[in-house]
C-alpha cells in the first residue's frame, strides 16, 4: 500500500464473508475517491493504520491480472484540496493484511455495502497462486478479470450482483 510506479500483478477473489483469520490480522481503514476529469480517472486514497495516516494519488490503467500503476504519496493538505472532486465516486473499506509465505493476502471488507474481496499481489505473472487452507472455504469465485469488481466500478455503480458459486462475473462471458 505504498508508493510505486510501474506494473501491478494481482489476483482477486470474491468471498462469501470475512474469514476468521482476519481477527488476528493487521488492519487498515481505507477511503478512496476518483477524479473523473481525466482519462483514466485519478484515484485519491487515505490509509489509516492505527494513528498513522498516509495519502496517495494514483493512476491505474488496464484490467485484469496485469495493470499499469503510477502512485505517489501526497500531503494531507493536497488530499483535502482534491477530495471534494471525488463526490459521488467513493468507497470505504477495512483492509486486513494476512502474510502467507512471501505474499500478503489483502482481505477487503467494504463498509458501504455487503461485499468481501481477497487480493494477492504477485511478483510475476508466472507466480502460482495457492489459496491458503484458511481462505479456501470462503472463496466464491476468482474475479480478477471482471470489471464489475474493480473499486472504480463499484464506487460508480455499487456492488455487482452475486455470481453463481464457482462462476466468474461478466468478464467470463
Backbone angles phi, psi at 159, to 5 degrees: -70, 150
Reported as a single tens digit per residue, the pLDDT across 66-95 is 999 999 999 999 999 999 999 999 999 999
Query: Which of the pair, 36 or 139, is modelled with greater confidence?
Result: 139
Give the containing element (helix H, strand E) for 111. Answer: none
Q: What are phi and psi of 150, to 5 degrees?
A: -80, 150
Of 100, 161, 162, which is closest to residue 136 (Cα–Cα)? 100
Residue with the larger pLDDT of the pair 6 and 42: 42
Residues in the chain: 173
Task: State yes or no: pLDDT of 168 exceeds 50.
Answer: no
91 close to 113: Cβ distance less than 8 angstroms: no
137 vs 122: CA distance, rounded Å? 22
Instruction: Say if CB 73 and CB 54 are below 8 A apart.
Output: yes
Mean of the pLDDT values across residues 15-43? 94
What does the pLDDT look like over 126-153, one tens digit per residue? 999 999 999 999 999 999 998 999 999 9
pTM value is 0.89
* CA 142 to the chain's CA centroid: 14
The domain 4-159 having CATH identifier 3.40.50.300: the answer here is: no
Q: What integer pLDDT is reported at residue 172 of this predicted model?
A: 40
At 156 the three-state DSSP class reads helix
Question: CA torsion, points 80, 5, 104, 28, in degrees to nearest 10?
Answer: 0
C-alpha 135/C-alpha 143 separation (Å) is 15
Per-residue pLDDT band for 47 (boundaries 50, 70, 90) equals very high
Q: Report the pLDDT value the prediction gives residue 6, as an integer from 0 to 100.
A: 87
| Mean pLDDT of the residues in the chain | 91
**pLDDT tier at 62 (50, 70, 90 boundaries)?**
confident
Q: Is the pLDDT of residue 169 over 90?
A: no
Residue 123's nearest CA partner among 1, 3, 11 is 11
Q: Do the Cβ atoms of 94 and 154 come closer than 8 Å?
A: no
Amino acid at each position: 500500500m505504498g508508493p510505486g510506479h510501474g506494473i501491478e500483478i494481482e489476483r482477486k477473489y470474491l468471498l462469501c464473508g470475512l474469514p476468521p483469520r482476519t481477527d488476528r490480522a493487521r488492519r487498515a481503514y481505507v477511503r478512496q475517491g476518483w477524479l473523473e476529469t481525466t482519462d483514466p480517472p485519478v484515484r485519491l486514497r487515505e490509509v489509516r493504520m492505527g494513528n498513522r495516516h498516509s495519502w496517495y494519488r494514483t493512476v491505474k490503467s488496464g484490467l485484469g491480472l496485469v495493470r499499469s500503476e503510477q502512485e505517489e504519496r501526497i500531503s494531507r493538505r493536497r488530499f483535502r484540496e482534491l477530495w471534494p472532486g471525488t463526490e459521488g465516486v467513493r468507497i470505504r473499506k477495512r483492509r486486513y493484511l494476512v502474510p502467507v509465505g512471501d505474499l500478503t493476502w489483502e482481505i477487503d471488507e467494504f463498509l458501504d455495502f455487503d461485499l468481501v474481496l481477497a487480493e494477492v499481489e504477485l511478483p510475476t505473472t508466472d507466480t502460482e497462486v495457492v489459496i491458503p487452507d484458511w481462505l479456501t472455504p470462503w472463496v466464491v469465485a476468482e474475479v480478477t478479470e471482471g470489471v464489475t469488481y474493480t473499486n472504480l466500478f463499484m464506487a460508480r455503480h455499487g456492488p455487482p450482483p452475486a455470481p453463481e458459486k464457482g462462476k466468474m462475473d461478466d468478464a467470463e462471458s
